Every structure is written in C-alpha cells, then in structure tokens.
Amino acid sequence: MPTTTPLRVAVVGAGPAGIYAADILSKTDLDVQIDLLERLPAPYGLVRYGVAPDHPRIKGIINALYKVLQKGAVRFIGNVDYGTDLTMADLRHYYDAVIFATGAIRDADLNIPGIDLQGSFGAADFVSWYDGHPDVPRTWPLEARQIAVLGAGNVALDVARILAKHVEDLMVTEIPDNVVEGLRASPVTDVHIFGRRGPAQVKFTPLELRELGRVPDVDVVVYPEDFDFDEGSEEAIRSSNQTKQVVKTLTDWTLREESERTASRRIHLHFLHRPAEILGADGKVTGLRTERTELTGDGSVRGTGTFEEFEVQAVYRAVGYFGSPLPDLPFDPVAGVIPNDGGRVLDSHGEHVAGMYATGWIKRGPVGLIGHTKSDASETVRHLVADLAEASEQGRLSTAVERDPQALLDHLHADGVPYTTWHGWELLDAYERSVGEEQGRERVKIVPREHMTEISRNVGARA
C-alpha cells in the first residue's frame, strides 16, 4: 500500500481496548504512525481504575499492556480530553483515521422508586472512588451499618467485599490514603447482595466467589430458601463448568452451621429477589423492598407478588456499565454505544462515517472479558486496513492536513494543555512505587490529577 508519508491514526482511549487496537494496527503492513490519546494522565483505563485493589492477579494484565507501550511503536499522549482539548475538526486535521475506545464508565440506570434518595449510589462511582480516580470526590459517605448491593456479577462482589473488608487487610494493596481513611471510619456490619434470578444464573466467576469466602473476619451468609433449580438451571450446570463451580460453592455454604458464624461483619447473598423500591424517610435511604421471584423453567424468572423488606441505610446498584456520548459522533442512547458495523462508525442513515472507527465497550457494550477485547480490536483494525487499501486504490489515502507528528504537540502546548507522555507515566509509576516502598507496599496510587501531572511532567515532583 504505497504512500509518500506514513499514515496517521489516533486511538482515543488508553484502556485495554485502545492499547490492543493500537498494538494490532502497529503490526500490520501499513506504514503508520499511531497516537494513543487518553483523557487521564495515566494509561490502562479500567484496569487501573475499575479493578478492586485487592485483586493483584487481575491487575497483572497491566504488565502485558506495559510491554505493548514500552516497545515505542505507539505514542502515548495523556491528560488530553477529546471534546475539550481536541475537537473532531482537530482529529481530522492531524489524522487520516481515528479509533474510539472510550469504554463504558457510567452506571446503567435502574428505574425503581427511591433510586434518587440520599444514600443510593452507583457502583461505578464507588469503584472509581476506591480506585483513586482523579475526577471523583476524595471522600465518600460511609455512614451505613447495613448496606444493599443490587446485582449478581463480579462488580457486585467487588463492591460488597470492599465495603465489608477490614481496612487493615487492604493495606498491602495500592489503595490510596484518602480511601484508607474513609473505610477505616465505616461502621458497616452487614452487606446484602441481591440477585433477581437463581444461583445457577448469577454472573460471578468461581475465583471471585471463592475469594469472598476467604475475607478475614467476614462471614458469608446464604439462605436455603433462595436456592431453586429449574430445567434451565440444570442445563446451565451441565453445560458450563464455571456455572457448576459457582453453584457448588454456593451450595456448600448452605451446609454451614449458624454457630460457625463468628465474624464481626457479614456478607449476605440473596437470590430470587427483584429490587422493587428503595425505601426512605426524610430524603434518606432506610430500607429496600424486594419482590420474591420464581424460576419459569428456562432459567428466567417472574414475580410472585410476595414482597419482603430489609433494613439498610445505603444501596449500591451494580447492574452494569453504560457508555457515554461523544461530541460530533453518532450515539445509540438505548444500547449506550457508538452505532457501528464491525467497528465502522455509522451515521443516522447507516452509512460509514469516513475515517471513524470504534472498539471495546463503546463499540459492543459492556460485555466480555479481555479475550473478547482483543478479538474485537482485531475486527475493527481489519476493517480499517481494508478501507485504507480501498482508499489507496482510489488515490485518496491520506486525508490529514497536518502530517508532522510534532504539530499536534505544538497545538496542545499553544492551547495550554499539560499533556503527559509515556516517559511521564514511567516517572509517575516510579514515584508511586517509591511511596509504596516507604510504607512496605508495592505502590500507593497518587489521586489528584494536578499532582499526577506535575510528577509526569517532572514539575515539583515532591511538592
């Protein structure tokens, strides 16, 4: 594919989806310069800001992402927000094509009465807080003794575990100092997780669930009356080893004697409970009303008309993530994605928006694991390469006006944008590790954006 100058491609979003897309593109036959644009000063997206700090094995994916960027085939430019620091016109000026990999970081809605009461929270916001995201408040209102978590996936387990775990048992992790202070003052004694379907339909992974049973001084409580298995459940157990392991772990917990529960804190798992209403008084959460459900034979459920109430002072909804619209791009408000065909961004008429692509959760929705992200990125890059091949044959390959890589940095500097670089991330990474070493920990995460940026730009690093 002959060109007089290298093609210029931007990837917007430096989480796993964006990094994998950039890496895959760098390994094609294209003569291409790739910029990875990230709105935060640090890379890695939800791997850094969406994984619980006590999951170092999962965070090991950072090592693989680090190796991709360390090779130097992709230029990292952080602390640059698309829509604020760079516009669509800017992207078209500096690049021939753009891949959007901005993910899904908002909480999905749950439309039940009382959802807006004080003490009702989105799990994604709480995760961002305990993971030290620079754009969320430094404090969190941890005042409840009894808490409800709505959802039956790993995020619900993470939220419940962090809420119930004694902060001393988190001190070996990279948990930020402000989070330590908040959790230490929490009066929590009981955290209740509610799933509307049965034990065979939960989305917990076996490892995450087993870890729940190993939290020091925290008992896991299950209720035999919540265990029901229909034909659809039995088929799920037969066909999925993961489901079989989850059901076995949960069933084993039903055999524990009440006298074995001696911990000062408890996590309760409730199945076949549909959240119906968050109860309140004086504008604050006081309880949760659920409707008992029953399995219908195929693994789905229906309401029974029987309701129960639980005394809680806070409710966290962990019912999924949702994408956010981006300026000057189409958006599907129902699915929470950029409309696309295999990664090719589509306009309102279903036509490909030239040069625009999507990958990751903003492409397909918040489903799938890292393996899906890689194959997803491969599909998007394959279509981008095919489109560029066609453009080359038609003599319209290069569309960017400004092709000098330095020109973008000059533009950001002129606009007063304190962008960060890969070298800057290495400085910040080393700084966080040095702070951690002083405390006998692997790392302590720096939270304020300004401090992150100063360290990355080597300005007043220890101010």
Report the alpha-carbon distance of residue 33 to residue 95 in Å, rounded.
9
Delimit the domains of the chain by residue range. Answer: 7-105+323-417, 106-321
For residue 397, the model assigns a pLDDT of 64
Q: Flag whether pLDDT at 462 surpasses 70.
A: no
For residue 461, the model assigns a pLDDT of 44
- Looking at domain 106-321, its CATH class is alpha beta
Neighbours of 242 (CB within 10 A): 13
Q: What is the mean pLDDT of residues 423-436?
A: 96
Share of the chain above pLDDT 70, in %: 97
For residue 213, the model assigns a pLDDT of 94
For residue 396, the model assigns a pLDDT of 65
61-75 residue pLDDT tens = 889 999 999 999 999
For residue 463, the model assigns a pLDDT of 33
- What mean pLDDT is reported for the chain? 94
Whether the domain at 7-105+323-417 and the domain at 106-321 fall into the same CATH topology: no
Q: Flag whether pLDDT at 362 surpasses 70.
A: yes
218's tokens: 């925290």
Q: Flag whether pLDDT at 2 surpasses 50.
A: no
Q: What is the mean pLDDT of residues 384-398?
A: 79
87-108 residue pLDDT tens = 999 999 999 999 999 999 999 9
3-state SS assignment for residue 140 = coil
- Residue 64's Cα: distance from chain center in Å? 18
139-178 residue pLDDT tens = 999 999 999 999 999 999 999 999 999 999 999 999 999 9
Is the separation of the CB atoms in 169 and 218 below 8 Å?
no
CATH code of the region 7-105+323-417: 3.40.50.720
Question: At 3, is the pLDDT very low, low, confident or very high (cuts 50, 70, 90)?
Answer: very low
Q: Flag whether pLDDT at 460 surpasses 60.
A: no
For residue 326, the model assigns a pLDDT of 97
The residue ranking higher by pLDDT, 463 or 326, is 326
248-273 residue pLDDT tens = 999 999 998 888 889 999 999 999 99
Say if residue 298 is exposed, middle or buried (CB neighbours under 10 Å; 0-12, 13-18, 19+). exposed
88's tokens: 């669509």
For residue 38, the model assigns a pLDDT of 98
